[in-house]
């Protein structure tokens, strides 16, 4: 039987030249956290704000416009809008955090994909209002790497990273997606749609 199998593989010239095998190892298993403070359009804290926070998280694959700071007196176009939206969507929410190839960014922030499970009608309505809705945003996901009593549970959830790009409150962070692969295609498609529809900053900013 083994000899026959080997002969079949050789005869079929397997794998073909254009066949790519990707073996991905995520840097951590999914976990749940409650968002206690939002810093800007792509960064948030648990436990408290800033220096008193238990942990600082940056959302993978997205780059929101910057807020004002000591080095930048004026916020970038759509920076305040992005921060306000993330605050509206995440503050006080218990979110599921999913990891990718890299767990930590250059400033020591934890890199995450952020999901809201079973979003409320108000959250769904808000996402639709800002143009962040698509078939891919809301999905039934089987998350076998989650630390839970029933890891095979399929739950309806929304990927907030994708929502922010699709609605035009953030853009694709190419440095991230070059190294982290879990939801890259979803974000690339979301930005194509946002730019074509002139959502958010694609309409308001030069």
Tell if the pTM clears 0.85, that is, is over it: no
Question: What's the pLDDT at 154?
Answer: 42
Contact, 137 vs 113, CB < 8 A? no
Supply the CATH classification number for the domain 25-204: 2.40.50.90
Q: Which of the residues in the chain have pLDDT under 70?
A: 1-24, 135-155
CB atoms within 10 A of CB 57: 23
By three-state DSSP, how is residue 179 classified? helix
- C-alpha–C-alpha distance, residues 59 and 26, integer Å: 16
- C-alpha–C-alpha distance, residues 61 and 184, integer Å: 7
- C-alpha–C-alpha distance, residues 157 and 138, integer Å: 6
Question: What's the pLDDT at 132?
Answer: 83
Question: What's the pLDDT at 4?
Answer: 44
CA distances for 7 relative to 1, 3, 13, 15, 18, angstroms: 10, 6, 10, 14, 21
Q: Which residue ranges make up each domain of the chain?
A: 25-204
Nearest to 172 by CA among 153, 186, 182: 186
DSSP state of 75: P
Contact, 166 vs 194, CB < 8 A? yes
Question: What's the pLDDT at 171?
Answer: 98
Question: What's the pLDDT at 136?
Answer: 67
Question: What's the pLDDT at 95?
Answer: 98
Token representation of residue 183 = 């939801």
Nearest to 164 by CA among 53, 59, 37: 59
Helix (H) or strand (E) holding 62: strand 62-63
Read off the pLDDT of residues 78-133 as tens digits, 9 standing for 90 and up.
999 999 999 999 999 999 999 999 999 989 999 999 999 999 999 999 999 999 87
């Amino acid at each position: 039987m083994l000899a026959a199998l080997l002969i079949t593989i050789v005869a079929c010239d397997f794998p073909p030249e254009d066949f790519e095998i990707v073996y991905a190892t995520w840097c951590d298993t999914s976990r749940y956290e409650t968002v206690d403070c939002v810093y800007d359009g792509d960064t948030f804290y648990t436990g408290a704000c800033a220096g008193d926070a238990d942990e600082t998280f940056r959302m993978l694959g997205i780059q929101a416009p910057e807020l004002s700071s000591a080095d930048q007196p004026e916020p970038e176009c759509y920076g305040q809008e992005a921060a306000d939206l993330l605050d509206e969507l995440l503050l006080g929410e218990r979110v599921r955090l999913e990891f990718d190839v890299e767990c930590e960014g250059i400033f020591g922030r934890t890199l995450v994909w952020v999901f809201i499970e079973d979003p409320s009608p108000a959250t769904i309505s808000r996402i639709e209002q800002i143009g962040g809705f698509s078939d891919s945003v809301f999905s039934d996901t089987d998350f076998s790497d989650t630390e839970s009593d029933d890891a095979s549970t399929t739950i309806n959830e929304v990927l907030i990273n994708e929502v922010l790009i699709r609605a035009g409150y953030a853009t694709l962070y190419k440095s991230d997606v070059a190294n982290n692969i879990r939801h890259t295609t979803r974000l690339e498609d979301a930005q194509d749609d946002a730019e074509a529809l002139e959502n958010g900053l694609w309409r308001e900013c030069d």
